[in-house]
Chains A and B, each alone.
Chain A
Amino acid sequence: MSSVQAHLPALQVVLPLLGSLFAGFVRREATGFALALAVSWTAAVISAVLLWQVLQGGPISYHLGGWPPPWGIEYRIDLLNAFVLLLVAWVGAVTMPFARRSVAFEVDEGRQGWFYCMYLLCLTGLLGITVTGDAFNAFVFLEISSLSTYVLIALGRDRRALLSAFQYLIMGTIGATFYVIGVGFLYLVTGSLNMVDIAQRLGSVPLEQTRAVAVAVAFLTVGISLKLALFPLHVWLPNAYAYAPSLATAFLAGTATKVAVYLLVRFFAVILAGSPAFGPLQLADVLLVLSIAAMFVASAIAVFETNLKRMLAYSSLAQIGYITLGIGIANQAGLTGAIVHLFNHAIMKAALFLVLGAVFYRIGSVKLHDLAGIGPKMPLTMAAFAVAGFALIGTPGTSGFVSKWYLAVGAFGHSGWLLVLLIVASSLIAVVYVGRVVEVVWFRPPSPLAETAREVPPSMLVPILVLAGATIWFGIDTRLTADLAGKAAAMLLAAVR
Chain B
Amino acid sequence: MRTSLILRIGTKLVLPFILLFALYVQFHGEYGPGGGFQAGVITAGMVILVGITFGLGAAKRIAPPGLVRAMVPLGVLIYAGTGVLGLLLGKNFLDYSVLSASDPAHGRGLGIFMVESGVLVTVSGTMTALFYAFVERGR
Q: Which residues of A pack against B, CB within 8 Å? A: 3, 7, 10-11, 14, 17-18, 21-22, 24-25, 27, 62-66, 117
Pick from B70, B72, B92: contact of A64, CB under 8 Å: B92
B23 within 8 A of A: no
Distance of A246 from chain B, by nearest CB (Å) = 26
Q: Complex: how many Å from CA A25 to CA B72?
A: 8
Instruction: For B8, list chain A residues within 8 Å (CB).
Output: none
Instruction: For A14, list chain B residues within 8 Å (CB).
Output: 80, 83-84, 87, 93
Distance of B111 from chain A, by nearest CB (Å) = 9
Sampled A-B contacts (16; CB under 8 Å): A7-B92, A14-B84, A17-B80, A21-B73, A21-B76, A22-B73, A25-B70, A25-B74, A25-B77, A27-B69, A64-B94, A65-B86, A65-B94, A66-B86, A66-B97, A117-B73
Instruction: For A24, list chain B residues within 8 Å (CB).
Output: 72-73
Which residue on chain A has the smallest CB distance to residue B108? A65
Q: Complex: how many Å from CA A11 to CA B94?
A: 12
What 16 new A-B contacts, CB under 8 Å, besides A21-B80, A66-B95?
A3-B90, A10-B92, A14-B83, A18-B77, A21-B76, A22-B73, A25-B70, A25-B73, A27-B69, A62-B92, A64-B92, A65-B86, A65-B94, A65-B95, A66-B91, A117-B73
Q: Complex: how many Å from CA A407 to CA B69?
A: 50
**Contact assessment for A10 and B93 in the assembled complex, using a CB-CB cutoff below 8 Å:** yes
Instruction: For A64, list chain B residues within 8 Å (CB).
Output: 92-94
- Interface residues in B15-61 by Cβ distance below 8 A to A read none
Which residue on chain A has the smallest CB distance to residue B96? A65
Q: Complex: how many Å from CA A304 to CA B138?
A: 40
Q: Complex: how many Å from CA A25 to CA B94?
A: 22
Instruction: For B77, list chain A residues within 8 Å (CB).
Output: 18, 21-22, 25
* Contact A7/B93 with A14-B84, A17-B80, A21-B77 known, Cβ cut-off 8 Å: yes
Which residue on chain A has the smallest CB distance to residue B97? A66
Distance of A113 from chain B, by nearest CB (Å) = 11
Which residue on chain A has the smallest CB distance to residue B83? A14
Q: Complex: how many Å from CA A66 to CA B108?
A: 11
Q: Complex: how many Å from CA A21 to CA B118?
A: 13
Instruction: For B86, list chain A residues within 8 Å (CB).
Output: 65-66
Interface string of B62-77 (1 = CB under 8 A from A): 0000000110111011
Q: Complex: how many Å from CA A117 to CA B76?
A: 13
Instruction: For A117, list chain B residues within 8 Å (CB).
Output: 73
Q: Complex: how many Å from CA A64 to CA B95?
A: 7
Please provide the 4 A-B residue pairs with the shortest distance between their CB atoms, ordered closest to farther: A10-B93, A24-B73, A66-B95, A65-B94
Pick from B72, B73, B80, B92: contact of A65, CB under 8 Å: B92
Distance of B121 from chain A, by nearest CB (Å) = 12
Which residue on chain A has the smallest CB distance to residue B81? A18
Distance of B80 from chain A, by nearest CB (Å) = 6
Pick from A10, A22, A25: contact of B87, CB under 8 Å: A10
B69, B92, B94, B96 — most chain A CB neighbours (10 Å) = B92
Which residue on chain B has the smallest CB distance to residue A66? B95
* Contact A63/B92 with A10-B87, A17-B80 known, Cβ cut-off 8 Å: yes
Which residue on chain A has the smallest CB distance to residue B84? A14
Q: Complex: how many Å from CA A62 to CA B91?
A: 11
Instruction: For B93, list chain A residues within 8 Å (CB).
Output: 7, 10-11, 14, 64-65
* Contact A7/B87 with A14-B80, A24-B72, A24-B73 known, Cβ cut-off 8 Å: yes
Q: Complex: how many Å from CA A3 to CA B96?
A: 18
Q: Complex: how many Å from CA A65 to CA B80?
A: 12
Q: Complex: how many Å from CA A62 to CA B87?
A: 13
Interface string of B92-118 (1 = CB under 8 A from A): 111111000000000000000000000
Q: Complex: how many Å from CA A7 to CA B83?
A: 12
Instruction: For B74, list chain A residues within 8 Å (CB).
Output: 25
Instruction: For A10, list chain B residues within 8 Å (CB).
Output: 87, 92-93
Q: Complex: how many Å from CA A14 to CA B83?
A: 9
